[in-house]
Structure 1
Amino acid sequence: MENYTSFNFMLFENLGYIRYSLFVLGFVLYFAIIFFNVLIMLAVFLERTLHQPMYILISCLSMNSLFGTAGFFPRVLTDLLSETHSISREACFSQSFVIFTYVANEFSILMLMAFDRFAAICKPLRYHSIVRPRFLACLIVINLNCIMILLCVAALLTTKLRMCGNKLFKVYCHSYEVLKLSCDNILINNAFGLLLVIITTIIPLGLILLSYVKILIICQRSSAQFKGKAYQTCIPHIVILLNFTIAVTCDTTLSRVVNLQIPVGLSVFLSLEFLIIPPVLNPLIYAFNLPDIRKKMISLIKPLK
C-alpha cells in the first residue's frame, strides 16, 4: 500500500491566463494586509496613551493576522505562477499547523477582548485592579501556550498516518482534507480534533457570548451617554467576531459536507474567507471606530505622502 510523501493541489489545474490576474489580486491583498496590520501595531507601540489592555489586544489580533497569512499567501502566490502544484508532506503539515494555530489564536484573543470589555463596562471601579498589564500578559501567554501544546499533539498524530491519496481539492493544506486521504484508522485523530474544536472554539465563543450578554444587560440599565460609549468600544469587536465566526463556519461546512452543489469559484472563496477578509478588514474597522488609533495611524501615514 503506497504511502505518499507529497500532495497535489488540484484546484490550480487548468487556470490558464487567469492565474496572473489572481496573482496580482493576491499580491495587492497581501500587501494591504501587511501594511494595515503593521500600521496598527506601530500605532499601539509608539503611542504611549495606547498602552492599554484593549489596544494591546488589538495589536495582538494584527500580529496573529500577519502570522496566519504568512502561512498562506506566499505559498499560494508561488503556486499561481508555478507549473507544478505539489507540496511535500512536511511543508503541508507545517502550513496546516500555522493556519489552525491562527484560527485558534484568533478566538482566544477575541475571548480576552470580551473579558476586557466586560471588566471595563460591568466593573468600571475595579477595572484597573482586575485587568492589570502583567495579568493580561499572563493570560495571553497561557492561552497561546495551551493552544500550541494541543496543536502540537494533533500534528504529531497526523504525521504518523500513512497516506493512500495525494490529491487535495483546496488551494492550501487543510487538516481535515489531509486526514481524509489517510488509509489508517483516524478515529483517534477525529476524537482529538473534536476536543480541539471544543477547547479552541466552542468554549471561547460561549465565554464571549456570556460576556456580551452581561454587558448588554448593564447597558440597558444605564444612561444614554454610558450606552453610547460602551457600544462604541464593543461594536467593532462584535463585528469582527461575527465576521470571523461565519467565515470559519463556511470553511468547516464545505470541508465536511460533500454534496453541496455550489460553483467551484464560490466554494474556494468561502473556504478562504477567514484567511482573506478578517486580516484586511479588522484594522480598517478599528481605524474607523476608535479615534485614538485613527489619529496615530494618520500621523504615521503622513510622512509617506
Structure 2
Amino acid sequence: MENVSVVRIFTLSGLNETMNYRITIFSLTLLYYCVILFVNISLVTIIILDENLHEPMYILLCSFCINGLYGTTGFYPKFLLDLLSKSHEISYEGCLLQAFVMYSFACCDLSILAVMAYDRYLAICRPLHYHSFMSKKRLSQLICFSWLTPFCIFSVSIILTSTLKLCGSKIEKLFCVNWVIVKLACSDTNTVASNIISYSIIFIYVSHGLFIMWTYMHLVITCVRSKEDRVKFMQTCVPHLVSLSTFLVVIVFDLMYMRFGSTDLPQSIQNLIAIEFLLIPPVMNPLIYGFKLTKIRNRVLGLIYVDRK
C-alpha cells in the first residue's frame, strides 16, 4: 500500500530542556557508548577466538552481546549527533528505521533470553539428552528464531505504520518509537490493523516470559535435590536471571510509562526513563557474564596476565 503520510521530517523534542548541559552530556554519553562497545566487542571476540567457548551457552551469549551492539548503535550515534546540533530532526524513513531497530532489539533480547533458559533447562534437567537436543543444527535454528521472529513481526508493524496518514510531526522522546508515531495519525485514520499487530506482539512476548518462568520452576525444583546441580545453577543460571530481571524491569517500566505515565515529570526524568533499556543491560550483561562464568573469567584473567608479562 502506498504511503499516504504528508510528514517527511519528525522533530525530536526530548532534548529541549537539557541543551544547556549538552557538552557535558555529550562527553559522558560518548564515554559510556565507548564502554558499551568495548565490553561487548571484547566478549564477542573472546568467544569467537577461543575454541573452548564454542558451546551453546557461550554462543548464545555471543548473540546476546551482538544484539546489544545492534540496539545501542540504533540510538547512540543519532543521539550524540543531536547533542551537537541545534535542530533535532530525523527523516520520516530514518524515524521508521530507528523505531524498527529499537523494538526488534528489545524483543530479540527477550527471545535470546528464552533460548538461553531452554539451554539451561536441558543442561541441568535433561543432562543425558543435552547434546542430542542442543546439536549444532538445533542451536542454529534457535538463534535464527531469536533474530528472525522479531525482525519479521516488526517489519509488518512498521509497514503498517508507514501507511498511516499523520497529522503531527513532533515526537516528545529522544528517539522514534512506533507507538508514538501511530499516536500522530489523523483522527480519521484507521489504526485497527496496527493495534491488532501491537497486541499480537504483546501476546507473543508475554508467552516468551511465561516459558522462561516455566523453565526456571523446573530448574529450581531440580537443583534443590543435588549439591552439584545447585553449584551449576549458581554458576550459569544466576547471570541469566539477573539479566532477565533487569530487562523485564526496565522494559515493563518504560512501556507502562509510555502508555500511562504523567507528562508533568521534568524532561530529564522522562528521558532517563525512556533510555533505561539502552543504559543498563548493554553494559551490565557482558560484565555479569564475564565475571560469573568461570571459563570466560579465566580467559579474561589469562589475557591480562599475558599482557602484564
The answer to whether the superposition gives a TM-score over 0.5 is: yes
What CA distance in whole angstroms lies between the structure 1 residues aligned with 2:228 and 2:178?
A: 47
Is 1:208 aligned with 2:222?
Answer: no
Offset, 1:261: 4.6
What CA distance in whole angstroms lies between the structure 2 residues aligned with 1:299 and 1:290?
A: 14
Deviations 1:73-121 (A, max 9, x none): 0000000110110111000000000111101110110000000000000
Is 1:270 aligned with 2:265?
Answer: no
Aligned to 2:245: 242
Offset, 1:55: 0.5
Write the letter of the residue equivalent to 1:226: D
Aligned to 1:94: 97
Q: Which moved more, 1:75-84 or 1:129-138?
A: 129-138
What CA distance in whole angstroms lies between the structure 2 residues aligned with 1:20 and 1:124?
A: 54
Match 2:197 to one of 167, 172, 192: 192
What CA distance in whole angstroms lies between the structure 2 residues aligned with 1:89 and 1:230?
A: 47
Contact 2:123 2:130 in 1 (8 A): yes
Deviations 1:32-78 (A, max 9, x none): 01100011101111111110000000000000000000100000000
Is 1:283 aligned with 2:283?
Answer: no
What CA distance in whole angstroms lies between the structure 1 residues aligned with 2:78 and 2:43?
A: 25
Offset, 1:301: 5.1
Question: Structure 1: where are the runs of 5+ without partners?
Answer: none
Q: Which moved more, 1:258-267 or 1:102-111?
A: 258-267
SS at match of 1:15: helix
Aligned to 1:71: 74
Q: Which moved more, 1:86-95 or 1:138-147?
A: 138-147
SS at match of 2:280: helix
Offset, 1:291: 1.8
Contact 1:254 1:260 in 2 (8 A): no
Write the letter of the residue equivalent to 1:218: T
What CA distance in whole angstroms lies between the structure 1 residues aligned with 2:128 and 2:5?
A: 65
Aligned to 1:218: 222
Is 1:153 aligned with 2:156?
Answer: yes
What CA distance in whole angstroms lies between the structure 2 residues aligned with 1:116 and 1:2?
A: 45
Offset, 1:233: 0.8
Aligned to 1:135: 138
How many residues are matched?
303
Contact 1:11 1:171 in 2 (8 A): yes
SS at match of 1:17: helix
Offset, 1:270: 1.5
Deviations 1:151-193 (A, max 9, x none): 1111110111111011111000011111111112212211111
SS at match of 1:262: coil
What CA distance in whole angstroms lies between the structure 2 residues aligned with 1:261 and 1:48?
A: 53
Q: Which moved more, 1:56-65 or 1:125-134?
A: 125-134
What CA distance in whole angstroms lies between the structure 2 residues aligned with 1:189 and 1:127?
A: 40
Question: Structure 2: where are the runs of 5+ without partners?
Answer: none
SS at match of 2:14: helix
Write the letter of the residue equivalent to 1:151: F
What CA distance in whole angstroms lies between the structure 2 residues aligned with 1:287 and 1:47?
A: 14
Match 2:85 to one of 65, 68, 82: 82
Aligned to 2:165: 162
Deviations 1:256-291 (A, max 9, x none): 014365333222112111111100110100111112
What CA distance in whole angstroms lies between the structure 1 residues aligned with 2:136 and 2:306?
A: 32
Contact 1:11 1:169 in 2 (8 A): yes
Contact 1:121 1:215 in 2 (8 A): yes
SS at match of 2:90: strand
Q: Which moved more, 1:232-241 or 1:250-259?
A: 250-259
Aligned to 1:45: 48
Identity of aligned residues (%): 34
TM-score, scaled to structure 2:
0.93
